């Protein structure tokens, strides 16, 4: 009861009497619901929801959030249904409680699928009401503060999930105070001995540094007073996990990290921030390139401050952060500051809330386009990285992207259609590779072209979850369209051989077959055929009645024509590298579609007479593509050999893709060339030119 009285006393400073009474009523309801239940520490269970509500009260959250905090374990742990919460406390509170209840089901570690599925539920709950995640963060914070009652294995598991998911979410929502406490508590639970060693070292260091810290602080305070600038100067402590991460990541000794002295100056308004910056730069010399203006360009989570590093007395480095009181509040409470003092809500709080909503909206977009829940959570974890780069559109709009982002990430951040049709880019008005990592301050222009598709190679270098998800989605869509097209051609060919046409198949007969194959529409069936998961002539026979299917499926009236533009569902075998002009057959491979082989290839000899596996093919007349071929050339060793071959191949309008030289003895060299050709006639012309070179004794077309 004393804890409840303290809480209600705190709430009465910013909530109405009716709202405070509603919070008290939710406490008594939770107390009755959890009657007889104890925590692992032996305390009455209701002490936990009361502590969670107190954490939210410190952030001045609204009364509905506090009521949900009191009731957040009622549905899961007591068997009371959601409907009872609705009847007692209304829809809003019940939805918050239900949203948090789903989050408690999250499992980590080996149960990756369950973790991912529940993380998706979290995104949905956050989308409906952002307060869900704030209640959950407060719940997790109290659980982390009371981890000591659990066994070591459970402590480590909970600490791991906190460091992997909840700490980055708190950081992404700008809640620095909770973020820092999550990291320190998680660090102590995961690595208790390391945490204790660093804590002792910090304590010892603090005593040794006290005199110099006081001197620097006094000199900064005198400087501000002399310039007539109001401001509070305080020393800033690095938290344990931050020190540990820097020691590991930058491979620095503890003394190197603690050699930097950190201070924070809190002022009254934005104008004063910049005037204070000028004053401290006059007092001590600044480090070149170490100034960051997060006021003009806030971080993605809404954080605003001026950061500068100076050469202090005796040359010691000093890190200084300069911000207003409102910025300090936003830095500590992040999105929770949106509910603080709503009668006088500033732009910073509005912007912070809008950024959080934008992030949650992005989560939903990732969820809708992700192939599965594991892909979704992988992309979200990428999105939670705190470091950003700030780049500009050609019209001067600022875009925030994760560190290491490329022009392709930028294109998808602008708009999905811009990303999907991107073909090139200019960085600072110069053409640049699409894989180039962007740096802050760069102006990026994307060049697009209609009817283009994302390149699968982009997945090797994109950083943002949005880009990765949309590229995969577009490639799947592209593959489906190509599979359906190829499947229709294969099925039409099989039906022709049986004396029928695809267009003549009755819809009822097609529906019967789709039901038999557990598929919803004809495109699903055609996609399966195009991918090689079903055989065209078997499906054709199933579509026709027995008396109509008397023809011999092998008695084809001509091979299937391929154009070379079938894309993702048509692959060219590496074992025999077919090119236009070669006699070819198609091998249907499950999941890959059709693999084109030369007719003489030994790898398909066992399938050649099996119509379920092999399809006769022929090249279209108007193919305008290049194909890879490997040649083996034996010739007398001579100076300038590679240049001679390259020049000859270039004259024949071909490119060298790869080259490998093997000297058989002092006189003979064996060269393996990978070249790009248009067809068999082009290859013959190249071979003739190579044979005309002096010293060439033998040229053969290679097979793997």
**Torsion sign over Cα 478, 531, 456, 402:** positive
Category of 568 on φ-ψ map: left (φ > 0), alpha (ψ -120 to 50) or beta:
alpha
Task: Assign 3-state DSSP to the chain and report helix, strand, coil percentages, each to 5.
Answer: 55, 15, 30
> Are the beta carbons of 223 and 280 closer than 8 angstroms?
yes
Strands 593-598, 444-448: parallel, antiparallel or unpaired by DSSP? unpaired
98 flagged as catalytic: no
Positive or negative, the Cα torsion across 169, 173, 177, 180?
positive
Asked whether 632 and 696 are in contact (CB, 8 A), the reply is no
DSSP tag of 302: -
Residues in Cβ contact with 542 at an 8 Å cutoff, skipping those fewer than 6 apart: 513, 516
Characterize the bridge pairing of strands 614-619 and 560-562.
parallel
CA 565-569-572 angle, 5° bins: 75
Classify 77 as helix, strand or coil: helix
Residue 328 carries which DSSP code? H
Catalytic residue among 18, 58, 62, 77: 77
| 584-589 vs 560-562, strand pairing mode | unpaired
DSSP label at 335?
Answer: G
Q: Which of 31, 76, 400, 626 is catalytic?
A: 76
> What burial class does residue 83 get, using C-beta atoms within 10 Å of its C-beta: 0-12 exposed, 13-18 middle, 19+ buried?
exposed
Cβ contacts of 650 within 8 Å, gap of 6 or more: none
In the annotation, is 481 catalytic?
no
Cβ atoms 71, 49 nearer than 8 A? yes
What distances in angstroms separate CA 513 from CA 328, 519, 522, one per listed residue? 66, 9, 9
> β-pairing, 593-598 with 570-572?
parallel
Give the active site residues.
76-77
């Amino acid at each position: 009861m004393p804890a409840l009285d303290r809480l209600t006393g705190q709430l009465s400073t910013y909530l109405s009497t009716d709202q405070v009474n509603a919070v008290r009523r939710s406490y008594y309801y939770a107390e009755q619901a959890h009657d007889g239940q104890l925590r692992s520490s032996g305390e009455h269970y209701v002490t936990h929801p009361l502590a969670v509500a107190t954490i939210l009260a410190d952030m001045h959250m609204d009364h509905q959030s506090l009521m949900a905090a009191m009731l957040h374990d009622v549905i899961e742990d007591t068997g009371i249904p959601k409907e009872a919460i609705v009847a007692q406390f209304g829809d809003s509170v019940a939805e918050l409680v239900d949203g948090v209840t789903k989050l408690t089901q999250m499992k980590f570690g080996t149960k990756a699928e369950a973790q991912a599925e529940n993380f998706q539920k979290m995104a949905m709950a956050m989308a409906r009401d952002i307060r869900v995640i704030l209640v959950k963060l407060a719940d997790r914070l109290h659980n982390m503060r009371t981890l000591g009652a659990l066994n070591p294995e459970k402590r480590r598991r909970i600490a791991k999930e906190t460091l992997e998911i909840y700490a980055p979410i708190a950081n992404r929502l700008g809640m620095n105070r909770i973020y820092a406490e999550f990291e320190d508590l998680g660090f102590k639970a995961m690595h208790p001995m390391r945490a204790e060693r660093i804590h002792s070292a910090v304590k010892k260091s603090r005593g040794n540094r006290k005199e110099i810290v006081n001197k620097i602080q006094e000199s900064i305070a005198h400087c501000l007073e002399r310039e007539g600038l109001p401001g509070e100067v305080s020393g800033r402590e690095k938290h344990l996990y931050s020190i540990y991460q820097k020691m590991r990541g930058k491979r620095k000794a503890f003394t190197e990290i603690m050699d930097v002295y950190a201070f924070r100056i809190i002022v009254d308004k934005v104008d004063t921030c910049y005037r204070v910056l000028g004053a401290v730069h006059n007092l001590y010399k600044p480090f070149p390139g170490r100034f960051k203006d997060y006021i003009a360009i806030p971080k993605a989570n809404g954080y605003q401050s001026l950061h500068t590093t100076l050469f202090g007395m005796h040359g010691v480095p000093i890190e200084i952060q300069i911000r207003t009181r409102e910025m300090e509040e936003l830095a500590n409470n992040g999105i929770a500051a949106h509910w603080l003092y709503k009668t006088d809500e500033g732009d910073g709080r509005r912007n912070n809330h809008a950024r959080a909503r934008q992030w949650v909206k992005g989560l939903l977009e990732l969820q809708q386009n992700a192939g599965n829940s594991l892909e979704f959570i992988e992309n979200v974890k990428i999105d939670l990285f705190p470091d950003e780069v700030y780049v500009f559109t050609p019209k001067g709009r600022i875009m925030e992207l994760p560190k290491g982002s490329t022009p392709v990430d930028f294109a998808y951040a602008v708009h999905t259609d811009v990303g999907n049709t991107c073909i090139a880019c200019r960085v600072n008005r110069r053409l640049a590779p699409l894989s180039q990592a962007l740096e802050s301050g760069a102006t990026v222009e994307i060049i697009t072209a209609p009817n283009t598709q994302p390149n699968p190679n982009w997945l090797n270098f994109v950083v943002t979850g949005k880009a990765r998800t949309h590229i995969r989605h577009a490639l799947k869509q592209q593959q489906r369209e190509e599979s359906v097209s190829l499947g229709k051609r294969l099925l039409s060919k099989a039906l022709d051989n049986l004396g029928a046409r695809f267009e003549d198949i009755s819809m009822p007969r097609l529906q019967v077959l789709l039901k038999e194959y557990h598929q919803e529409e004809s495109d699903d069936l055609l996609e399966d055929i195009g991918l090689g998961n079903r055989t065209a002539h078997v499906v054709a026979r199933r579509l026709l009645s027995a008396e109509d299917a008397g023809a011999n499926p092998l008695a084809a009236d001509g091979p299937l024509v391929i154009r070379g533009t079938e894309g993702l569902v048509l692959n060219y075998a590496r074992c025999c590298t077919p090119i236009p002009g070669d006699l070819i057959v198609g091998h249907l491979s499950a999941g890959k579609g059709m693999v084109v082989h030369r007719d003489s290839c030994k790898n398909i000899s066992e399938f050649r007479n099996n119509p379920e596996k092999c399809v006769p093919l022929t090249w279209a007349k108007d193919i305008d593509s290049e194909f890879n071929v490997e040649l083996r050339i034996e010739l007398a060793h001579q100076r300038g050999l590679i240049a001679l071959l390259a020049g000859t191949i270039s004259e024949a309008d071909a490119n060298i893709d790869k080259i490998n030289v093997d000297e058989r003895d002092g006189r003979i060299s064996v060269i393996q060339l990978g070249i790009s050709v248009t067809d068999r006639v082009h290859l013959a012309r190249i071979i003739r030119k190579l044979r005309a070179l002096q010293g060439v004794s033998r040229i053969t077309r290679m097979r793997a």
